[in-house]
């Protein structure tokens, strides 16, 4: 969604935007990007052809297209498009990294730092992520542009389209109704995440097993899919909680937000997290969020005020927090109200747009 928001910002500012996708793609995301007015270029390269094949293809593309600016979403293999743009003689190269450097190898750190030297500006999605890669951080300050003059790397936090989110919540989508109809009489703990190691869904399952012993009418709603899906379902069965879990699989963004609307508590149990977009989206929905005290999550959530932070990889601590919140409806309500206001003030799409425009105005 961050990339989609960036494209919206650039198109609305008057830039002609071409989105280059060199590997596999999601047809729904292509439609959403096309709706912004951007041009989509699907290169359809096979990963098996190797990085050198990709590098040559991108160099050729940049020389043909002659873009004024290349803005790279620094996801593996993020260094390749940066290097290709530099070799092709692109005058202005930006890059945005979405993950923290904490779990990455020294090799990856060195590669990113070298890549950053080839860019005009390198953007991180949280100050925690920026510090983990560069050792220091600089949050874009729209009131003092002199502060960022001469700096090469910055933080621009992700933004949430609150208006679009409110529309999704009110839409009453059939798929959402089908999923949540059987949960109406239950207290629902939920999450929206890729089912992969770093998202910590196994930690949530272990915590929920403890919650379920005390709140037998509670349910767990897990939205998303990933390479750990089968493994996590096996774990749920071993913990004896399979009958209390609804697994939705992959949903559209609007459907996922609709499901958040039916959750009493949203959990983000990540082992590491560059920003924590799901947490901010849930906060914008007015939901109390319980999240791991890691990286960007610890930055966007004020513990006990706009959400609750718990130690990472400690299911018992997570369970005790969930039990406490399930018992206190008023506390959940108050946290949700303050969380929504916090997002409106600091993490709205409008705030994101202005920060992006500051960076592009430096050209």
Q: In the predicted model, is pLDDT for residue 144 greater than 70?
A: no
Q: In the predicted model, is pLDDT for residue 159 greater than 80?
A: yes
Q: In the predicted model, is pLDDT for residue 141 greater than 90?
A: no
What domains can you pick out in the chain, each with its CATH number? 2-159+348-361 (3.40.50.2000), 162-346 (3.40.50.2000)
Q: Please give the average per-residue pLDDT across 148-165, as a whole number.
A: 90
Q: Quote the mean pLDDT of the chain.
A: 95
In angstroms, how far is CA 82 from the centroid of its own chain?
22
Interval 266-287: pLDDT, tens: 999 999 999 999 999 999 999 9
pTM of the predicted model as reported, rounded to 2 decimal places? 0.93
Helix residue spans in the chain (DSSP H): 2-13, 27-35, 51-65, 79-87, 106-117, 127-134, 162-170, 174-180, 201-214, 229-239, 253-260, 277-284, 295-300, 315-327, 329-346, 349-361
* pLDDT band per the 50, 70, 90 thresholds, residue 145: low
149 or 15: which carries more pLDDT confidence? Answer: 15
Question: Token pair of 12, please?
Answer: 């609305």
For the chain, report the end-to-end CA distance as a whole number of angstroms: 25
Which strands form 188-192's sheet, in the order they lie side by side? 245-249, 219-223, 188-192, 265-268, 289-292, 308-310
Please state, in angstroms and rounded to a whole number, the distance separating the CA atoms of residues 29 and 184. Answer: 31
Please state, in angstroms and rounded to a whole number, the distance separating the CA atoms of residues 2 and 128. Answer: 17
Strand, coil or helix: what is 21? strand
Q: Please give the average per-residue pLDDT across 75-84, as a whole number.
A: 93
Interval 319-339: pLDDT, tens: 999 999 999 999 999 999 999
Please state, in angstroms and rounded to a whole number, the distance separating the CA atoms of residues 296 and 83. Answer: 28
* Planar angle of CA 268, 274, 279, nearest 5 degrees: 30
């Amino acid at each position: 969604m961050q990339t989609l928001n960036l494209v919206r910002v650039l198109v609305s500012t008057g830039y002609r935007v071409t989105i280059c996708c060199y590997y596999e793609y999601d047809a729904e995301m292509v439609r959403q990007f096309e709706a912004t007015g951007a041009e989509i270029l699907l290169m359809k390269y096979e990963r098996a052809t190797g990085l050198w094949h990709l590098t040559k293809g991108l160099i050729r593309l940049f020389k043909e297209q002659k873009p004024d600016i290349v803005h790279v979403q620094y996801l593996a293999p993020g260094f390749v498009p940066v290097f290709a743009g530099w070799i092709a003689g692109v005058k202005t190269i930006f890059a945005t990294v979405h993950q923290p450097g904490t779990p990455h190898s020294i090799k990856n750190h060195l590669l990113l730092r070298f890549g950053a030297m080839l860019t005009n500006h390198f953007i991180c999605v949280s100050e925690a992520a920026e510090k983990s890669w560069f050792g220091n951080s600089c949050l874009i300050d729209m009131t003092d542009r002199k502060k960022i003059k001469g700096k090469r790397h910055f933080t621009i936090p992700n933004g949430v389209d609150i208006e679009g989110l409110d529309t999704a919540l009110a839409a009453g989508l059939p798929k959402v109704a089908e999923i949540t109809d059987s949960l109406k009489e239950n207290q629902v703990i939920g999450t929206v995440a890729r089912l992969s190691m770093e998202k910590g869904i196994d930690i949530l399952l272990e915590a929920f097993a403890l919650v379920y012993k005390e709140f037998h009418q509670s349910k767990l709603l897990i939205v998303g899919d990933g390479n750990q899906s089968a493994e996590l379902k096996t774990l749920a069965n071993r913990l004896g909680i399979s009958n209390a879990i609804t697994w939705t699989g992959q949903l559209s963004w609007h459907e996922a937000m609709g499901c958040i609307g039916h959750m009493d508590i949203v959990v983000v149990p990540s082992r590491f997290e560059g920003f924590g977009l799901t947490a901010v989206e849930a906060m914008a929905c007015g939901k109390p969020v319980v999240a791991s005290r890691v990286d960007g999550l610890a930055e966007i959530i004020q513990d006990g005020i706009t959400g609750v932070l718990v130690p990472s990889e400690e299911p018992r601590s997570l369970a005790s927090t969930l039990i406490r919140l399930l018992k206190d409806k008023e506390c959940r309500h108050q946290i949700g109200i303050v969380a929504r206001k916090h997002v409106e003030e600091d993490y709205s799409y409008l705030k994101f747009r202005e920060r992006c425009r500051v960076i592009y105005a430096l050209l």
